[in-house]
Amino acid sequence: MFRLLKRKLLQRTSDHKDEAKAGNDYAHIKLDIKLDDNLNRIRNILGESNDVIIREMKIGRNSNIDAAIVYIDGLVDRNLINHDILQPLMFNLPLIRDNVNQKHASLIEFFKSTVLTVGQITESEDMVTIISDVLSGNIAILAEDTAEALLIDAKGWEKRGIEEPGNEVSVRGPKESFTETLRTNTALLRRKIKDPRLTFQNLQIGERTKTFVTVVYIKGITQENLITEINQRLKRINTDAILDVGYIEQYIEDAPQSLFPTVGISERPDVTAAKLLEGRVAILVDGSPMALTMPFLFLEGFQNPDDYYTRPFFATMIRWVRLLGFLLSIYLPGLFVSLSAFHPELFPTELLVSVAAAREGIPFPVVLEALLMLLLFEILREAGLRLPRPLGQAVSIVGALVIGQAAVSAGLVGAPMVIVVATTAITSFLVVSYADTGVLFRLLMVIVSGFLGLFGMVLFSLEILSHLVSLRSLGVSYLSPLVPIDFKSFKDTFIRAPLWAMDNRPESLAPLDKKRQAPNLMPRASKSSQTGREKP
């Protein structure tokens, strides 16, 4: 009841805000016929910034037509302005001035169809569109006696090239990753999937940043519910800035209070393409070299592009290694703590003798020892990450050798604890998607096991499990195909079935086109090749 009221109130105030803004701003302003008025208005809106260029000129046979172009320096391609806009306008126009009145309805129309030698041109009389286009790197051409402006796409700013992926390294796969430019990213995807049904849907989000956000999906595969749901969630975002794909993630995720991510993130076009082909939706954000994919399921974290580029046997084994690594990274320190503080009877005797020997004379309780070491590792990791690269390496050497070695020989921590923490540190990076989730759970697990031993750990795991099964990503159960169980989709979970056996797309995403390939694709020698040189 109250909530409803509150929401209504909120809605009203936001409406009100919009109106207020419109009053001060330029929302409903249309262009005037007078060029001077228009330019003044634009000057008012864009302010005194010196990167705003308003170039006034006279065109026409007798230079009798006033015109102006407006653009932001640095965002546009200067060559294009000079050669394809200024030159035709100022040199070619006088010659064919006469045509205008006869053949073309207006001057602007004439420019567009005959004069300007550029690709993408739109026209608008709306001040909002003009301003936002100019701000995102278009050129506006205005002329006297015309209540319309031409908007020319001339984006040409400095940008980073396509580089190798830094976080998701693959041995055999393609070595390109997304960049900060939205157009480049869409092109990367388009190059992978040349299906006309691959759809890019554009949105602009952010009151001030006006960031371009593109929703990508393949029509005919992706369940329509997913697309509408994503669009609704994106439209709900009413914020002033979207600076990275991470902003979007936090506004649209299913379980904002969960430690588990419900949105997938990748910097690899091939991974994103594969997810699109499975029936997922991707979101690209201008200025961010990452793509979001939804729905994101728990087991996706254990998949890796190399799994699919190599033969299935090793891929399956390595999946189990990842799973084991994930479990180890969460449970190992807690297990060690509870075994040594609560249940030494569970150690094999010989191991207990050596663990006990290492424990002699260590001043802290084992929980504290574990927490200290884990914290120390996190500190080292963060320092190594943030410091300039050469320094970062120095830090890791100091951390590993000096602190690890010295702490053991000084008797501050036991050698087994160092081994445990080091193992955890390494294994936690096996599954990149849950690396940060893992850190938190590991710490919590150590704390819980410090209080209640294994019992606490099991109960905490139960709580996590019950939380996990209650999670959904975009309406798809987070643990599927494990829960609810779907044996057909097991081909890409704990085993990685051969590609020729994965005939269907994952059932849990309810793809519109279930079939991925023709059946019976298992490679076999054709009859003709059997009659080769070898004699039976």
Partner 1 sequence: MKRKVKAKIYLTILLILITICLAGCWDSLELNKRSIVSGLGWDLDPKTGEVTFTVQSIVPGGGQSSSNISGQQQGGSQTRSIQVDKDTGPGMYDAITRLTQHVSRFPFYPHTKVYIFGKEGAQYGIYQFFDVQARNPDSRPNALIVVSAEKKASDIMNIPDGLEKIQAFGMAAEINLSAQYSKYPAVTVFDFQKRIMSKTTAPIAPIVGIAKEIGSEGREIKKLRVAGTAVFKGDKMIGELNERESSGLLWAINKVKIGFITVPEADLEVVKAKSKIIPELQGDKIKITVEISEDSDLVLFKRRQDITVGVVRELEKDLEKEIKNQVMASVEKSFALDADIFGFGEAVHRKYKKEWKELQPKWDDIYPQIEVEVKVDAHLKKIGDIYKAL
Partner 2 sequence: MFLEKGKISNFQLGLLIIGFVFGSSVIISPGQGAGHDAWISVALGLMESLLIVWIFTTLAKQFKGMTIVEINSLVYGKILGTCISLLFIWYLFHLGAMVLDNYASFFKLEIYANTPRIIIILALVLVCISTVGRGIEVLARCSAILVPITILIAIADSALIIPQIDLKNLLPVLDVPISQILWAGHAAASFPFAESVAFLMVLAFVDITENVSANFLKSLLIVGIILIIVVARNFAVMGPMAAITNYPSYLLAQAIDIGEVLTRLEVLIAVNLITMGFIKVSVLLYGTVLGLAQVLNLHSYRPIILPIGILMAILALTTFGNSVNMLNFAQKGYPVYAAFFQIGIPLITLVVAKLRKLNPTGGSKA
* Contact present, 287 and 211 (Cβ < 8 Å): yes
Which 449-478 residues touch partner 2, going by CB under 8 A?
452-456, 458-459, 462-463, 465-466, 469-470, 477
Q: Measured from the CB of residue 364, what is the shortest distance to partner 1 in angstroms?
A: 9
Which entry of partner 2, partner 1, none binds 356, CB below 5 to 8 A by partner kind? partner 1
Report the half-sphere exposure of 271 (CA within 13 A, side-chain side): 27
Sole binder of partner 2 in the list 37, 483, 519, 530 (CB under 8 A): 483
- Residue 419 found at the interface with partner 1 (CB under 8 A): no
| Touching partner 1, residues 367-396 (CB under 8 A) | 367
Give, as ranges, the residues between 239 and 268 that touch partner 1 (CB under 8 A): 257
Print the binding letters for residues 198-237 with partner 1: x by CB under 8 A, - otherwise: ----------------------------------------
Report the distance separating Cα 218 and Cα 280, nearest Å. Answer: 8
Return the one option of partner 1, partner 2, none that residue 408 interacts with (CB less than 5 to 8 A, by type). Answer: none
Could you say which of 345, 389, 523, 524 contacts partner 2 (CB under 8 A)?
A: 345
- Shortest distance, CB of residue 8 to partner 2, whole angstroms? 23
Q: Least distance in Å: CB of 367 to partner 2?
A: 16
Minimum CB distance to partner 1 smaller for 171 or for 459: 459
Which one-letter amino acid corresponds to residue 89? L
Q: Within 13 Å, how many C-alpha atoms sit on residue 136's CB side?
A: 19
Q: Which of 344, 392, 399, 498 binds partner 1 (CB under 8 A)?
A: 344
Q: What are the Cα distances from residue 409, in Å, to 15, 163, 285, 405, 514? A: 67, 44, 51, 6, 61
Task: List, as one string, the DSSP characters of 308-341.
Answer: HHS-HHHHHHHHHHHHHHHHHHHHHHHHHHHHHH
Q: Within 13 A of 482's CA, how many CA atoms are on the CB side?
A: 13
Q: Is 485 in the site for partner 2 (CB under 8 A)?
A: yes
Share in percent of the chain as helix, strand, coil (round to 5) = 55, 15, 35
Separation of alpha carbons 52 and 58, rounded Å: 20
CA-wise closest residue to 168 among 93, 268, 263: 268
Helices assigned H by DSSP within 72-206:
78-79, 87, 97-103, 107-110, 127-135, 182-192
DSSP 84: I
Beta carbons within 10 angstroms of residue 455's beta carbon: 14
Tell me which residues in 132-171 interact with partner 2 (CB under 8 A). none
- Give the span between the Cα atoms of 320 and 329, in whole angstroms: 14
185 binds, among partner 1, partner 2, none (CB under 5 to 8 A by kind): none
| Binding region for partner 2 (CB under 8 A) out of 45-53, 111-119, 146-154, 481-489 | 481-489
Q: How many CA atoms lie within 13 A of 382 on its CB side?
A: 8
Does 351 sit near partner 1 (CB under 8 A)?
Answer: no
Among positions 72, 139, 245, 366, the unique one binding partner 1 when judged by CB under 8 A: 366
The total number of residues shown for the chain amounts to: 536
Binding residue (CB under 8 A) for partner 1 from 259, 356, 412, 497 = 356
**Shortest gap between Cβ of 159 and partner 2 (angstroms)?**
47
Question: Whole-number minimum distance, CB 444 to partner 1, in Å?
Answer: 9
Q: Which member of 340, 424, 437, 493 binds partner 1 (CB under 8 A)?
A: 340
Q: Which residues bind partner 1 (CB under 8 A)?
A: 257, 340-342, 344-345, 349, 352-353, 355-362, 365-367, 448, 450-453, 456, 459, 463
The residues of the shown chain that bind partner 2, judged by CB under 8 A, are 342-343, 345-349, 452-456, 458-459, 462-463, 465-466, 469-470, 477, 479, 482-485
